[in-house]
């Protein structure tokens, strides 16, 4: 099982969307929010993702396709 940490920056139109829930449900991952700042027009989050490396890669591709800026910080474990 892989674990990785990411910095996610969300565009305004996605702030109210249940993105973390979808990552867990649709990609069979365990998300762990480490830090976040969510305001009306901007949002960022530091999140660990745990699961199969292929599922993590698919989830990151899905986020990026949706307009989320994703930066891998480090391997979290």
Mean pLDDT value across residues 60-74: 95
Task: Report pLDDT digits (tens) over 28-45.
Answer: 999 999 999 999 999 999
Res. 50: pLDDT tops 80: yes
Cα 60 to Cα 44: distance, rounded to the nearest angstrom:
15
Cα 46 to Cα 75: distance, rounded to the nearest angstrom:
13
Task: Report pLDDT digits (tens) over 4-33.
Answer: 999 999 999 999 999 999 999 999 999 999
Instruction: Give the global pTM.
Output: 0.89
Structure tokens that stand for 35 in this block: 């830090």
Domain definitions of the chain by residue range = 2-75
Res. 64: pLDDT tops 80: yes
| 2-75 CATH fold | Alpha-Beta Plaits (3.30.70)
């Amino acid at each position: 099982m892989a674990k990785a940490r990411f910095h996610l920056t969300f565009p305004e139109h996605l702030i109210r969307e249940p993105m973390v829930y979808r990552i867990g449900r649709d990609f069979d991952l365990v998300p762990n929010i480490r830090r976040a700042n969510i305001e009306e027009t901007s949002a960022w989050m530091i999140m660990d993702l745990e699961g199969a490396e292929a599922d993590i890669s698919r989830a990151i591709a899905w986020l990026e396709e949706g307009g989320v800026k994703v930066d891998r910080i480090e391997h979290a474990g």
